[in-house]
Chain A
Amino acid sequence: MVTAEAVWHALAEIPDPEIPVVSLVELGVVRDVEVDGARVRVEFTPTFLGCPALETMRAQMATAIERLGAEPEIEVVADDSWSTDKITPAGREKLREAGFAPPAPREASAPKLVQLQSKVFRCPYCGSTETRLENIFGPTPCRSLRYCESCRQPFEQFKTI
């Protein structure tokens, strides 16, 4: 019989479809794994509900569980109990190495424009805090575009959710 540990291990092999340097487990979007005989139930939450990779992630997780000889049940949990704080320390480091600034910690209320314009956001390439907001939006809903005034490099900033 498949164990929860084996399922977590299999899910940790699946790269995020949009940012393949991190796995779905490192991204923190896998919330829970429950094994009930031959059935495996996975709860996951997309970073943003408009994530274009949602169905791809669901299908990849289902395939990984089928390969273990179990019957997958993938449930999307769409509530506010998930935040970008769930990205693992290893996941944050891999994001940074690939040029994606990891998200700032979540605060009690949703961020405001003035915070994106005035708070410290560090360049993932040179570490400078001399960066400015270029666009609240980027190639996927979960990213913003910033520009580093020190090394003159545009970079993507993971949004805080």
Chain B
Amino acid sequence: MTPGRLSCPSCHRTVPEIYWQGLDLVRCPACECEFDQIRFRALSARPVVAVANATVDGESSCFFHAQNRAEAACESCGRYVCSVCRVDFAGRSLCPACLGNHGERRRIPENNRILYDRMALIVACIPLTFIFWFFSFVTAPVALTLCFYGWRRPGSLVPRWSRARFIIAGVLAFAQIAGWIIFFGRLIFR
């Protein structure tokens, strides 16, 4: 019996181990869906549970749990922490309080980002559709501002043509602004 649990990808019900252990092609007993499975060791590995040891006379105790023996010192604030409080994060041992600090939280991998290059390109391209051409009076300066603002901002995590998008958006926005300047110039100096 392994501690792992396999869910059917179609009905999301747990497939009993007897139906998938040792097989490559699994048939869900509930919905009869057949699927290939590629299993790895993590499925059957037992989860590691931190157990704190009780403190003995003369030993350092955890800052947060006085009854627990200290296992490590926080590498940010120096407090002693037990194995329950110790958080291994980005190659360092931290206490929960330091992990909540803003400075440490900045090291947590991001889950989303705003792509200013795409935003600038979309804003610059809106007036290119025929019926919205007059929007360019507003959108072109906005797109140009986004190009300048987002140029040094962090872009996508993965390699993309973000600089090229900024340049295309900037050229489009600049052309639209130039068009409006020429238009108003002709009206004024006619």
A and B associate = no
Q: Residues of A with Cβ closer than 8 Å to B?
A: none
Q: Residues of B with Cβ closer than 8 Å to A?
A: none
